[in-house]
Amino acid sequence: MSQKNTTAEQWDSVIESRHSLFDINLKEIWHYRDLLVLFVRRDFVTVYKQTILGPLWFFIQPLLTTITFTIIFGNVAQLSTDGAPKIIFYMAGITLWNYFSTCLTTVSGVFNANASIFGKVYFPRLIMPLTIVISNLMKFAVQFLLFVSFVGYFTFQNEIQPNSWILLTPFIIILMALISMGIGLILSSMTTKYKDLNQLIGFGVQLFMYATPVIYPSSSVPQNYQWVVELNPLVGLFDYMRYAYLGVGEFTISDLVYPSIFSIVILAVGVLVFNKTQKTFMDTV
């Protein structure tokens, strides 16, 4: 009679279906951190490897957009800049908005863009949205350095007055990343079933820019509509950017309470919806 092997087998990793929407294995994501780094490097290389100017586009794009906004909204439309130089006022808004909009639109298409990989290889699916947020953070860092150099110039010319609030910048960037990722995760789950959303997201983000004080100060909004503007969680972040670096507008620490709460809630909802969709998305993509 053969003796049964009672020794339990030990496995390095076990892949199994999730039984709970709240089952978020952060330890597993950390275990795949090398893959995250690889994807971030891939995104950077594939975008600029075959371009003539390469990473210089990090500088060219915000500069051209800033010049365009300065001409159209500053000189032609004569929109208020709260007394700040027009070019640095628009650059402050564009630098922050570029990061938010790029993260949101790219994360919203994560299932469709990576369906071939998801269908063949296992890894924590949240790696892909995290890759997008981090790789775009590198791009934001370059553009932010450009913005800071302009801030230094205008400060030297005594045209703006930065203050100690600039030390809060890392927290503001984290809030921006959390909000864009949370909304993007929700939209990505919806686009797997409703393909028309892929066409509407880009248009919707452009419209949302005009509901956010990117090209105008929030103080210029009529008093009757201030409550509508305050529903936008990004308003406090853009007000902070202009107040801290340009010394214009109004800002208090209480302005960050709503964005902070909203970022946590929207990210939690986004992750839950993402976890539910990742189980069956291959049936609809």
Reply yes or no on whether the pLDDT at 28 is more than 90. Answer: no
Tokens of 40: 């971030």
Higher model confidence: residue 7 or residue 42? 42
Domain boundaries, given as residue ranges, for the chain:
52-283
Mean pLDDT of 192-220: 87
Mean pLDDT of the chain: 84
Reply yes or no on whether the pLDDT at 219 is more than 70. Answer: yes
Reply yes or no on whether the pLDDT at 51 is more than 90. Answer: no
> Which tens digit of pLDDT belongs to each residue from 75-95?
998 899 998 999 999 999 999
Minimum mean pLDDT range among 5-14, 161-170, 189-198: 5-14
CB atoms within 10 A of CB 72: 13
- The CA distance from 275 to 277, in Å, is 6
Minimum mean pLDDT range among 40-44, 236-240, 267-271: 40-44
Share of the chain above pLDDT 70, in %: 84
Reply yes or no on whether the pLDDT at 22 is more than 90. Answer: no
Higher model confidence: residue 194 or residue 177? 177
Amino acid identity of residue 236, one-letter, is G
